Amino acid sequence: MASNAHAQNAPLPRAETGLQRRLRFVRQYAAWRRAVRELWRFKWREHRAAPRLGAYHTRRGRVAYFIRHGTRDVGIFSEIFVAGEYDPPAAVSRLLAALDHPPRILDLGANVGLFTASCLERWPGAEIVAVEPDPENLQLLERMALVEKRIEVIPACAGARDGKVRFLAGLFAESQVVSDGHEGETLELPCVDAFRLAETADLVKIDIEGSEWEILADPRLAELPVSALVMEWHDKSCPHADPGAGAREALERAGFEILCEHRPVPQNGTLWAIRRAG
């Protein structure tokens, strides 16, 4: 009874005032303006109720990319271009600037290519191998690669071996590899050995919805000659009670130094790491 009385007496959340709404719009406008050249077109499509495909360019480098408004694409756009979750720490920028060639980047779980677009904006001469299995995401990634010739697209899942896997598609950024006994409609798709692809990479990004755990457990991770790595860990398929701690421990055991972690929640978080010297 006491808890019910407390709930009844709790103040209701106040409605947003007109001034607060205008301030929120100004902040959002400023953030989007830094990220997209066709700002008003982006804004118009984003505020429409119906899902709609938009073609855009990054603000400075004019790198082409595509977004499905009304989907998780816009959340990923905000994480990358607005919140700066994938902005490299200073130590990573110094390592890549010291290379005698433009950075070679491996994007595992490329989705529609927004991380890839941010890399081409930041390092105009970069060469990128983008790995993505979901057929709907892949359509937009391949359209992007037709315009941006520095992208090689590999239509496959990423894992610790070559082979075939069962894949749950159509979930935008949450599409994922599932076990053979998974109930519901799945696809059989090729899986590529991420370590083979990473042999010549300077920076590796991993966001593969639970399949990262087999990569983190592979002893070849300690021998991987990459300078830097950014990965999103997930609680799905995780063999550890604490997924974030498990990811950090695996990277440190393989000889990486953790630089920072963004947005760690029980379900996922994003880690930046560099190879320890010596």
Task: Provide the CATH number for the domain around residue 151.
Answer: 3.40.50.150
- On whether the CB atoms of residues 206 and 108 are closer than 8 A, the answer is yes
Q: What residue has token string 């007109």?
A: 18
How many CB atoms within 10 Å of residue 269?
Answer: 20
Mean pLDDT to the nearest integer, 60-89: 91
The answer to the question of residue 229 being in a domain is yes
What's the whole-model pTM score?
0.88
pLDDT in tens, 43-56: 888 887 677 899 99
- Of 153, 184, 139, nearest to 166 by C-alpha is 184
The answer to the question of residue 36 being in a domain is no
In the prediction, which pLDDT does 12 show? 43
pLDDT in tens, 218-260: 999 999 999 999 999 999 899 999 999 999 999 999 999 999 9
pLDDT in tens, 156-189: 999 999 999 988 877 777 777 787 766 678 888 9
The answer to the question of residue 234 being in a domain is yes
pLDDT in tens, 121-159: 999 999 999 999 999 999 999 999 999 999 999 999 999
**Residue-averaged pLDDT of the chain:** 88
Q: Can you give the length of the chain in residues?
A: 278
Asked if pLDDT for residue 3 goes beyond 50, the answer is: no
The answer to the question of residue 213 being in a domain is yes
The answer to the question of residue 230 being in a domain is yes
Q: How confident is the model at residue 7 (pLDDT cuts 50, 70, 90)?
A: very low
Q: How many distinct structural domains can be found in the chain?
A: 1
The answer to the question of residue 11 being in a domain is no
In the prediction, which pLDDT does 9 show? 45
In the prediction, which pLDDT does 20 show? 66
Mean pLDDT to the nearest integer, 88-95: 96
Domain that holds residue 231: 71-275
In the prediction, which pLDDT does 82 show? 87
The answer to the question of residue 56 being in a domain is no
The answer to the question of residue 1 being in a domain is no
The CA distances from residue 60 to 3, 34, 37, 75, in Å, are 54, 9, 8, 21
